[in-house]
Amino acid sequence: KQTLLPLLREEISSFIFPCNPAVQRPELQHMVLELLRCIPLLLFLLFVCGLDHFIFSVLSIIQHHSFIEYSYQTSHHLSVNVMGTSLMAQLLRGTIGALNTSFDTELEISNLACLPQPTGMTRQQYLHTCLPLGMLALLCLAQVYPFRLRRAIAAFYFPKREKTRVLFLYNKLLRQRKHFLHLQRGRVARQARQPPGVGTLLLQWCRRRWPWLRRCLRWRCTLCGTPETPRHRPCPSPDCVASYCESCW
């Protein structure tokens, strides 16, 4: 609870607040990892769709440019004329005349039955193919909200375990804060030993020369960098111009 241990600005980013609708920093890292796992599926889907379009294009070219049609026409006419009026001529006309034939042949052949008949996928079919992957990406974005219920469900069924976890978290925060203050003291000490820059000296001179500019030329917290407010505490040392926000002080 905030009344027991108010969180510092650096500590807020490491916690998940269930009532906050925005995706928070710890959840964002997990969500990015889940989205990265979808990239191989996306690449595979793009490869399959590209391969399908390539095969369709090749088969379509073969269909339009490999069509061959043969047209065969023939005409056959046989006529035997026997002249004369003798008995032999009449006999030959009766026998050989039966061989007179006449026929016309017209034949058309094509390789249409042997050619491929490709059918390309429509936009709706491509959309239906990509829809499951889109739903998977949306689930990766929306899964952070159901995951927030895990702690509440575990606390409901195991209240003693929840109290142990809270005490462990409290002690862990105290140890981290102690270590953090030790590191920040060393950083501030090293920063104080360095001579101030030209920009810092100019800002000090402007603030002393024109006090009304303090609303525009505000100091920042030496630790967290928040802009100066009336609650900021200046360093009690007369030669130090550092200021600290209320939580860092």
pLDDT in tens, 169-224: 888 888 888 887 778 777 777 777 776 666 666 666 666 666 655 555 566 777 77
Kindly state the DSSP code that residue 218 receives in the 8-state scheme.
Answer: -
| Lowest-confidence pick of 22-36, 55-69, 83-97, 111-125 | 83-97
pLDDT at 43: 94
Among candidate residues 34, 198, 52, 185, the one with its CA nearest the CA of residue 129: 52
Residue 32 lies in a domain: yes
SS3 74: strand
Quick one: average pLDDT of 53-57? 92
pTM reported for the whole predicted model: 0.58
CA-based torsion, 220, 221, 227, 231: positive or negative: negative
Q: How far is 203 from 159, CA to CA, in rounded Å?
A: 55
Residue 204 lies in a domain: no
Residue 1 lies in a domain: no
Residue 138 lies in a domain: yes
Domain total of the chain: 1
Q: What is the largest CA-CA distance in the chain?
A: 157
Quick one: average pLDDT of 122-138? 91
Q: How far is 44 from 34, CA to CA, in rounded Å?
A: 17
SS3 243: strand
Residue 225 lies in a domain: no
Element (H, E) at 204: helix 198-209
Residue 205 lies in a domain: no
Domain that holds residue 29: 20-157
Residue 140 lies in a domain: yes
Element (H, E) at 101: strand 101-110
The burial class, CB within 10 Å (0-12 / 13-18 / 19+), for 223 is buried
Residue 84 lies in a domain: yes
